Homo-oligomer: A and B are copies of this chain.
Amino acid sequence: MRAAVLHGIHDLRVEELAAPEPDPRQVLLRIRRAGICGSDIHYFEDGRVGSFVVTAPFILGHEVTGEVAAMGEGVDGLCLGQRVVVNPARQCGQCDYCRSGRGNLCRRVRMLGSASTKPPTNGGFCQYLAIGAEQCFPIGPEIDDETAAMMEPFAVALHAAHRAGSLAGKRVLVTGGGPIGLLAIIVARTYGAATVALSDPVENRRAMAAKVGADAVLDPTAAGFSDEVARLTGDGFDVMFEASGSPPAVRQAFEVIRRGGTLVQIGSIAQPEIALPVNQLMVREIQFVGSFRYGNVFEEGVRLLAAGRVDLRPLVSDVFPLAQAPQALVVACQRDRVVKVQIDLN
């Protein structure tokens, strides 16, 4: 099979490899579409994501959709040809975190297309992928490949929404208009937020946010920012999704959030520490909560997509065939210009 293998910084090669075989309880997927995530870009640009360093060549990619091409023993609930979306994180299913519904915190989780293991775990920028049947969620023809390959980042936003508690009728601010921030806007709208604003210093992103449903877009560096917040919310936002990973955005959150409000951190932060006004958190009873990947939201996401409750296609800005995976990565690196770049394997 053909696969896009990362050999080093800026060294992605499309190669011929042997297709994997499914183990018991696994299926073999023929990949149809795959999206490029920020972590793929980090591996490609920096050879690492945080402390996970690329020490051996591996196949990138974990935002995938495909169809069942073969099944190992003991698989039920799936059949040949079934199209599926994929949860790329395999949880142990047995530890205290998994048993209590917080499998995303499982210490034995194993992620597709990741250098967190040694050797790295292969991902899905390839024609065939062997994966646990329980990581696959069936979809019907009403969900196209483009949308289906957005399920994984959509799951990040859905999980963050649940971490925030209810968004119903709330005033919501998203900071950072990259793919996850835009998806947070879409989810906040879908889940009933009465006001959804985006704050981002980059004009392109603000325009994109307005396009996917933000009621207001703010430039956090502009003079009238605080007045605009007051005009929109009175006493501040009920809920904030911090999707930029930028220290000034995290700090600013404590100024624009309402007493009793909730700040959800989704964006990865490169800096080891950020100076924060903790006394404000105390006297205003703020909840500052982390949101990491996704819990059990894939079936929920499929239901929303199947019912047409959300449209994720405006976020797909560029599509390349597998043979042009290296170019796709280069384009994906231009973050202020593109939103989501996908690889088409059909």
Q: Which residues of A does B touch, CB under 8 Å?
A: 93-94, 96-105, 107, 134, 158, 161-163, 165-169, 171, 190-192, 194-195, 215, 250, 259-260, 265-269, 271-279, 281-292, 295-297, 299-301, 303-304, 306-307, 309
How distant is A92 from chain B, measured CB to nearest CB, in Å? 8
The interface residues of chain B lying within 8 Å CB-to-CB of A303 are 169, 171, 194-195
The interface residues of chain B lying within 8 Å CB-to-CB of A290 are 281-287
How distant is A294 from chain B, measured CB to nearest CB, in Å? 11
* A251 and B318 alpha carbons, distance in the complex (Å): 43
* A9 and B301 alpha carbons, distance in the complex (Å): 50
CB pair B97–A301 under 8 Å, yes or no, is no
Nearest residue (CB) in B for A281 is B290
Complex copy number for this chain: 4
The 4 closest A-B pairs by CB, nearest first: A101-B101, A93-B93, A169-B300, A194-B303
Nearest residue (CB) in B for A98 is B93
The interface residues of chain B lying within 8 Å CB-to-CB of A272 are 277, 279
- Contacts A194-B303, A269-B279 aside, 9 further interface pairs with beta carbons under 8 A come to A98-B99, A99-B103, A102-B260, A162-B168, A169-B297, A273-B277, A274-B276, A282-B290, A283-B290
How distant is A13 from chain B, measured CB to nearest CB, in Å? 31
Given A99-B101, A105-B284, A285-B289, check contact A191 B194 (CB 8 Å).
no
* A169 and B304 alpha carbons, distance in the complex (Å): 6
